[in-house]
């Protein structure tokens, strides 16, 4: 057990949660994000909400940030040079031929991160089986280096064709660049990814080179500021593929953190699922501008192995979180054909929804919810009192355009938003061969609890778990992020007893490679391995976890095949008789953080006079009185309709739902008829 502090930087707010191991207390806080100097927001949050003695005794600082992501999106990164195999410098620019917006005649790819004049070729060629077709012409490296130095590049990315199968030439190019006097960063593709697909690997390598310096500077600055505040423990940052890594390692492999934004929520959801023994859970993270859904099966998030940012692929594990542009700030508007649409445009933080009274005049989803009474009396913890008259005024013109009254229109805004969120959740589930009706919904984020019963009704789900600190849940999720390191290598071969030997050899290499990345894993570690397998001839693969004995696969080829077949059947509803082929091998080392022994204050009967509001019930299709109850006062099961308030979120409990407080501070909502 260990005291720890988690800080998650969002677009609008920087959220903090700390866990004090001595008292078992979990405390939350929120400060505005400082966009130009995100570490200042972090420092403000820590200074403002964490007592000095807690900072000093904290063993871990866990961090979620979009610094790397923003560097990419805003194209503020290093000046990168790229070295490729002769004949292939345009791989990065030609890409794969597709359009992100397929019905848009004028869509065009964004500019590549490395312009053509900084992409240079060297003479060499390796074949797909790793054999050398043309040895590296060392004389061709010097002119490339000279040209890049003349361009003043900060870092050099090297991605040679088929380097995943044989890294010798990349390694030699690095030696020659150093021998030639280059002192900047060098990113070698086989170290970054190790997987095949040259465009995707090049893109990943270039992203690494592009964000590395910025990320490294940021992490150094932040670590320094934390030390000044008295922090003496280990600083960790979340990985896109779940878990965390030390700042030192993140400086070395920054691309592994790029897609970590929505991961902390999925991480927390996994912990809740494990804590409560929930087999299949789907998250609904509703923020101001976006809605994120993730599946948590048997306490684990689903991990994918290639992602895309701003149309640039990244070959790295990432938690499969599906986002759509729908949230509390999503604006209702009339389209060219005269129908009402909701989102994806958002009122954002400024001006925000009309009812915030900060100058917004267009109707946001929050305005509709507020107008319908779903936010209760509208006194937010931040001190803002929502102005529902402004909400009504904003909805009116849209209502007139579709010839409906304001009430019907507000209901419609909620129905459209919740149905598109539900569609996203349904697609994520069906894709895994699962029926949402059999799953538990875990809503969080500022507007998650507001939408919870609506989404469950759309999907015919019968059980909802609202986690503690729902509005700050991502930061809470950070606190459980075990340290994780992983490496992968493509090695295509038939699955056979002999190839399992090759897998073992590759695993030895991969674990050895991981071991060189730092000694902070001296604590107890758990090694795991996965093999990506497919039917021969197919391109798509499934990643199957295999049991290990030390660093060796403790399963026969037949056993691995059986596990693959079972997973294939589960995912696709059928199997084939084809031979099975190994594609890639993945090694992971996990150093679990000490368990937290979380206790939350037991609920107390409130002595304050209870309020009630006349709010719309979607279940009963009419307005009715909703009790307004503080979350901390739910001792006995609370039968809806009710509005449950807490400091960072408001729960809308529709008439046919009942809420009870669970042992771990969670609220469990069940549909009344399912009682």
List residues binding another protein (CB under 8 A): 87-91, 93-94, 96-99, 101-106, 108-109, 115-117, 125, 127-128, 133, 161-162, 164, 196-200, 335-341, 402, 404, 408, 411-412, 415-416, 419-420, 423, 426-427, 430-431, 492, 535, 537-540, 571-574, 576, 578
CB nearer to another protein: give 572 or 625. Answer: 572
SS (H, E, C) 594-616: CCCCCCCCCCCCCCCCCEEEEEE
Structural contact between residues 264 and 8, judged by C-beta atoms closer than 8 angstroms: yes
For the chain, first and last CA: distance in Å? 37
The DSSP bridge pattern shows strands 291-297 and 280-286 to be antiparallel
CB nearer to another protein: give 423 or 502. Answer: 423
CB nearer to another protein: give 88 or 652. Answer: 88
CB nearer to another protein: give 127 or 523. Answer: 127
CB nearer to another protein: give 276 or 461. Answer: 461
Half-sphere exposure of 293 (CA within 13 A, CB side): 23
CB nearer to another protein: give 323 or 658. Answer: 323
- Which residue, 296, 298, 297, 320, is CA-closest to 308? 320
Compute the least distance from the CB of residue 480 to another protein, in Å: 31
CB nearer to another protein: give 1 or 576. Answer: 576
CB nearer to another protein: give 57 or 561. Answer: 561
Q: Distance between CA atoms of 344 and 342, rounded to whole angstroms?
A: 7
Compute the least distance from the CB of residue 262 to another protein, in Å: 20
Compute the least distance from the CB of residue 349 to another protein, in Å: 27
Q: Distance between CA atoms of 631 and 645, rounded to whole angstroms?
A: 6
Lookup: tokens for 103: 């019905």
Indicate the burial class of 561 (C-beta count within 10 angstroms; 0-12, 13-18, 19 or more): middle
CB nearer to another protein: give 335 or 524. Answer: 335
Indicate the burial class of 225 (C-beta count within 10 angstroms; 0-12, 13-18, 19 or more): middle
CB nearer to another protein: give 116 or 178. Answer: 116
Q: Distance between CA atoms of 647 and 29, rounded to whole angstroms?
A: 10
- Which residue, 120, 121, 129, is CA-closest to 150? 120
- Distances, alpha carbon 225 to alpha carbons 16, 24, 41, 222, 235, in Å: 16, 26, 11, 5, 12
Compute the least distance from the CB of residue 386 to another protein, in Å: 23
Query: In sequence order, what are the beta bridge partners of 360?
Result: none
How does 232-262 read in b/e, with b if 16+ C-beta sit within 10 Å? ebbbbbbbbbbbbbbbbbbbbbbbbbbbbbb
CB nearer to another protein: give 145 or 161. Answer: 161
Q: Distance between CA atoms of 224 and 511, rounded to whole angstroms?
A: 31
Compute the least distance from the CB of residue 213 to another protein, in Å: 24
- What does the radius of gyration of the chain's CA atoms come to, in whole angstroms? 26
CB nearer to another protein: give 125 or 517. Answer: 125
Lookup: tokens for 626: 């909703």
Compute the least distance from the CB of residue 90 to another protein, in Å: 5
Cα 19 to chain centroid distance, Å, stands at 22
Compute the least distance from the CB of residue 99 to another protein, in Å: 5
CB nearer to another protein: give 333 or 520. Answer: 333
Q: Residue 637 gets which letter from DSSP?
A: P
CB nearer to another protein: give 427 or 663. Answer: 427
- Distances, alpha carbon 410 to alpha carbons 201, 338, 413, 585, in Å: 47, 17, 5, 52
- Distances, alpha carbon 277 to alpha carbons 61, 160, 440, 493, 534, in Å: 27, 47, 11, 38, 31
Q: What is the CB neighbour count within 10 angstroms for residue 175?
A: 12
Compute the least distance from the CB of residue 332 to another protein, in Å: 10
Compute the least distance from the CB of residue 578 to another protein, in Å: 6
Where do we find the tokens 């399992």? 500
Compute the least distance from the CB of residue 97 to another protein, in Å: 4
Compute the least distance from the CB of residue 542 to another protein, in Å: 10
Rounded to 5°, angle at Cα 39 from 33 and 42: 60
Compute the least distance from the CB of residue 576 to another protein, in Å: 7
CB nearer to another protein: give 220 or 415. Answer: 415
Compute the least distance from the CB of residue 438 to another protein, in Å: 15
Compute the least distance from the CB of residue 223 to another protein, in Å: 38
Compute the least distance from the CB of residue 77 to another protein, in Å: 20
- Which residue, 116, 70, 68, is CA-closest to 91? 116
The pairs formed by 71-75 with CB atoms below 8 angstroms and a separation of 24 or more are 71/210, 71/211, 71/214, 71/215, 72/207, 72/210, 72/211, 72/258, 72/309, 72/310, 72/312, 73/309, 73/310, 75/113
- Which residue, 629, 586, 631, 597, is CA-closest to 610? 629
């Amino acid at each position: 057990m260990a005291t720890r502090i988690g800080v998650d930087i969002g677009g609008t707010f920087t959220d903090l949660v700390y866990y004090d191991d001595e008292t078992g207390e979990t405390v939350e806080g929120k400060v505005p994000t400082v966009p130009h100097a995100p570490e200042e927001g972090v420092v403000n949050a820590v200074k403002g909400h964490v007592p000095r003695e807690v900072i000093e005794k904290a063993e871990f600082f866990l961090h979620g940030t979009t610094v790397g992501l923003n560097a990419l999106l805003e194209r503020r990164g290093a000046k990168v040079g790229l070295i490729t195999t002769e004949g292939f410098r345009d791989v990065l620019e030609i890409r794969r031929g597709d359009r992100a917006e397929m019905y848009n005649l004028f869509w065009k790819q964004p500019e590549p991160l490395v312009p053509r004049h900084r992409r240079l070729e060297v003479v060499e060629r390796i074949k797909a089986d790793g054999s050398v077709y043309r040895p590296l012409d060392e004389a061709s490296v010097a002119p490339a280096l000279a040209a890049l130095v003349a361009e003043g590049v900060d870092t050099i990315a090297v991605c040679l064709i088929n380097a995943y199968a044989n890294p010798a030439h990349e390694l030699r190019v690095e030696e020659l660049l150093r021998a030639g006097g280059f002192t900047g960063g060098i990113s070698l593709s086989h170290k970054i990814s190790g997987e095949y697909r040259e465009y995707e690997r090049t893109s990943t390598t270039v992203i690494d080179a592009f964000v590395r310096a910025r990320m490294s500077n940021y992490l150094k600055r932040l670590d320094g500021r934390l030390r000044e505040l008295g922090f003496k423990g280990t600083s960790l940052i979340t990985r896109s593929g779940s878990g965390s890594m030390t700042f030192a390692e993140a400086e070395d492999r920054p691309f592994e953190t790029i897609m970590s934004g929505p991961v902390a929520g999925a991480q927390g959801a996994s912990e809740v699922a494990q804590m409560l023994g929930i087999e299949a859970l789907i998250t609904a993270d509703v923020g101001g501008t976006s809605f994120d859904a993730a599946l948590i099966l048997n306490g684990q998030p689903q991990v994918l192995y290639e992602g895309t940012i701003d149309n640039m692929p990244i070959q790295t594990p990432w938690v499969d979180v599906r986002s759509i542009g729908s949230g509390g700030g999503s604006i209702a508007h009339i389209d060219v054909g005269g129908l009402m649409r909701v989102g994806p445009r958002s009122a954002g933080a400024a001006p925000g929804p009309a009812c915030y009274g900060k100058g917004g005049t267009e109707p946001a989803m929050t305005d509709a919810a507020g107008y319908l009474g779903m936010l209760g009396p509208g006194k937010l913890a931040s001190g803002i009192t929502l102005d529902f008259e402004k909400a009504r005024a904003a909805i009116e013109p849209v209502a007139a355009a579709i010839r409906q009254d304001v009430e019907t229109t507000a209901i419609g805004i909620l129905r459209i938003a919740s149905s598109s969120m539900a569609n996203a959740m349904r697609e994520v589930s069906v894709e895994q061969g699962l029926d949402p009706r059999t799953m538990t919904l875990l809503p969080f984020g500022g507007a998650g609890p507001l939408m919870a019963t609506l989404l469950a009704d759309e999907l015919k789900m019968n059980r909802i778990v609202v986690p503690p600190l729902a509005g700050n849940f991502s930061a809470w999720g950070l606190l459980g992020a075990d340290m994780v390191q992983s490496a992968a290598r493509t090695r295509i071969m038939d699955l056979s007893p002999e190839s399992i030997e090759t897998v073992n050899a590759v695993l030895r290499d991969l674990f050895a490679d991981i071991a060189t990345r730092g000694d902070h894993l001296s604590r107890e570690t758990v090694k795991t391995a996965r093999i990506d397998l497919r039917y021969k001839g197919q391109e798509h693969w499934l990643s199957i976890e295999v049991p290990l004995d030390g660093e060796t696969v403790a399963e026969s080829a037949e056993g691995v095949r059986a596990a693959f077949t079972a997973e294939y059947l589960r995912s696709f509803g059928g199997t084939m008789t084809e031979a099975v082929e190994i594609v890639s091998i993945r090694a992971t080392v996990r150093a679990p953080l000490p368990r937290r022994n979380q206790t939350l204050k037991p609920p107390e009967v409130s002595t304050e006079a209870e309020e009630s509001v006349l709010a719309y019930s979607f279940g009963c299709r009419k307005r009715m009185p909703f009790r307004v109850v503080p979350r901390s006062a739910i001792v006995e099961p609370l039968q809806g309709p009710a509005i449950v308030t807490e400091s960072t979120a408001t729960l809308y409990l529709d008439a046919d739902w009942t809420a009870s407080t669970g042992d771990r501070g969670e609220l469990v909502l069940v549909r009344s008829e399912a009682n």
